[in-house]
Structure 1
Amino acid sequence: MAPRHPRPFTVVKEAYVRTTRPLRLALLAAALPLVLVACGDDDGDDTAAPSGAPSSETAGAGDAAAFPVTVDTENGPVEIAEQPEKIVSLSATATEMLFAIGAGDAVVAADSYSTYPAEAPTTDLSAFEPNVEAIVGYDPDLVIASSDPGELVSGLAAVDVPAIVLAPAVTLDDTYTQLEQLGAVTGHVGEAAELVGQLRSEVDELVAQVPADAPPVTYYHELDANLYTVTSSTFIGEIYGLAGMTSIADDAPDAAGGYPQLSPEFIVTADPDVIFFADGGVGGVTAEDIAARPGWDQLTAVREDRVVEVDPDIASRWGPRIVDFLRTVVEERTALAPVE
């Protein structure tokens, strides 16, 4: 049985989900939304930016953020004094976001997993074991990360380099918020707002394709061959939920962490309607491998050819391409409940 591809995927690397370590899997559940604190213009103009991320309903394509801008992070408020000209991104998702909002020209270096888009200046910088000296070698005026392992933020602060941490999203709204925040701190408010509006519209259109009275559908999303998966409470689970799908892992004994490791017996008993696997490609797993697992040939998903390979990076990153993942899920969901 060949893997099914509802849409073509661009294969790129991402470390956040493609690992057998539960700690790194749980990074996706660690997001703490950031709140922008408005600052007035230096010229004394009493018109200040609104509190929070710029509104996608009111910000136009020509709007620009006022500087200085202060971002309230989990490590305290960070002031960006001027529009950054040299950005180092230690987050593959942030790299995608920066290029999507038109700030890509300012990115002088990106971490080793930032392989999308193609023009991203990917380097051997590590997002998990960042080397402050190596980062400073790029002379950045802003560093963006998705976590603060070790002493990244404090080490950069010691040499007067501001850093902001955009933690992994928990909800789709976090994605929108982070795009707007990046728009504010890079001076691309209008572009970010326009992109958020476009993403919201595309999501709404895709969700509307799922019949309101469609019968419930269960799924198993395989992160790796060790049978780690996601529950409905995770960011990935929310995307499936938008299509009216429920994870079989919600009833797993250790589901509380959001990324339980299931047993083969649990999966066979749960008998998911659809299997999505994100460990193909360099992970080496194929639909044939899944069908050949003991007892899995009797699963509904296998018998009815509903084993779907998904790009692990598109599915795990919370950037603009998450709409492509939702499109794949919705297409599979509507195939089970065709509109009459």
Structure 2
Amino acid sequence: MAHPPVRLRPIVRAVSAATAVLAAVTVVAGCSSSPSASGPSSSSSVAASTTAAAASFPVTVNASNGKVTVKSAPQHIVSLSPTATEDLYAVGAGKQVVAVDQTSNYPSGVPVTSLSGLTPNLEAIVKYQPDLVVASQDSGGLVAGLTKLGVPVLIEPAAATLDAAYAQIEQIGRATGHADQAAQTVSGMKTKIAAAVKQAGNSHADLSYYWEISANPYYSATSATFVGQIASLFGLKNIADKADKAADGGYPQLSQEYIVAAQPQLVFLSDNEASDGGQSPAVVAARPGWSGILAVKTRQIVGLNDDEASRWGPRLPELVAQIAQAVEKASGK
């Protein structure tokens, strides 16, 4: 899912040069990996869990960074993306994950480290002796540096569509030896999403909404974005669509006057958590000048789970369910 400027954090330092990384590998090559206490079970346990899938390797997948070949079932996976982490555990590859980045927080008990997907440190990554690395972007020469070391890297960027999100889950399943469970995961997601849409209905052009990504300034998401397409499953009218410009990339900055004048009947908050400024329904309702907005009058302000609203993984059905409940309530179903 493409993110608006306000949700991106600048890259503050480059990764070490390839020569430095090669030197680091020489030092750590003989060392065992160092997963946290909440990490996976022993290597023997991991090997046992992947024996059945071993026959399907080597496998080649078409990732965003091109064709990537994984020669054997990976037993030391490093994830540098919260969505990829959720995907890995959803398809059954959790026991193979030895380290995840500092922003990965689901499911509980994942081996969180200080690794960063935005500013990857190759020396820190190779200390976990990975045989597969999954990330959402190729920052700081991540792919080139690890490829020189013989470590396959899958770049799975923000999904633009639901089908793209499904494809990534299936791709990660194939690359880790869990193709069948990945297919089951995707099938289950599709079933849950279809059921939620059917229950709430998909023809609600009479219901307008404002999707808030941040406040002061107010950034929103249009129907062309990933989350906008999710909301469009219900046929809702997005007030940000008329304000969008090509340069905004689907994430226009709206003025308070514009939002108030648009009179959205639903307000979805994806900046609901305290760490993002705490823009809760109560905070929104108390904003000066907002008392006249229809969504405020009818208490149709929905505080979404921030992580579910900014990721494109296996918890998408939960996000759709939240929207569905709001639509049913607003439409009187």
Q: Shorter-chain TM-score: what band?
A: 0.7 to 0.9
Residues 227, 261 of structure 1: 8 Å contact kept: yes
In structure 2, what is the equivalent of residue 258 of structure 1? 250
Q: Which has the higher helix share?
A: 2
In 2: Cα distance, 1:216 partner to 1:158 partner: 55
Matched, 1:336 2:322: no
Moved more, 159-168 or 216-225: 216-225
State the TM-score, normalized to the length of structure 2: 0.81
In structure 2, list runs of 5 or more residues that go unmatched.
Answer: 11-51
Name the SS for the 1:328 alignment partner: helix
Matched, 1:303 2:315: no
In structure 2, what is the equivalent of residue 49 of structure 1? none
Residues 278, 311 of structure 1: 8 Å contact kept: yes
Matched, 1:288 2:282: yes
Q: Equivalent residues in 2 for 1:27-176 (5 A)? A: 66-176=56-166
Residues 54, 177 of structure 2: 8 Å contact kept: yes
Residues 90, 111 of structure 1: 8 Å contact kept: yes
How much does 1:253 deviate? 4.3
Matched, 1:271 2:257: no
Between the two proteins, the alignment pairs up a number of residues equal to 288
In structure 2, what is the equivalent of residue 238 of structure 1? 229
AA in 1 matched with 2:233: L
Name the SS for the 1:182 alignment partner: helix
Matched, 1:316 2:306: no
In structure 1, what is the equivalent of residue 168 of structure 2? 178
How much does 1:19 deviate? 6.8
Residues 83, 312 of structure 2: 8 Å contact kept: yes
Matched, 1:249 2:240: yes
How much does 1:238 deviate? 1.1
In 2: Cα distance, 1:93 partner to 1:212 partner: 27
Cα 1:326–1:149 change in 2 (3 A) is same
Name the SS for the 2:279 alignment partner: coil
State the TM-score, normalized to the length of structure 1: 0.80
AA in 1 matched with 2:72: E
In 1: Cα distance, 2:300 partner to 2:54 partner: 47
In 2: Cα distance, 1:17 partner to 1:213 partner: 27
Alignment RMSD: 2.1
How much does 1:150 deviate? 1.9
After superposing on structure 2, the runs of 4+ consecutive aligned residues of structure 1 that deviate more than 4 Å are 15-19, 21-24, 62-65, 212-215
**Per-residue deviation, residues 41-79 of structure 1 (Å, max 9, x unmatched):** xxxxxxxxxxxxxxxxxxxxx988721111223332211
Fraction of identical pairs, as percent: 44
In structure 1, list runs of 5 or more residues that go unmatched.
Answer: 1-14, 25-61
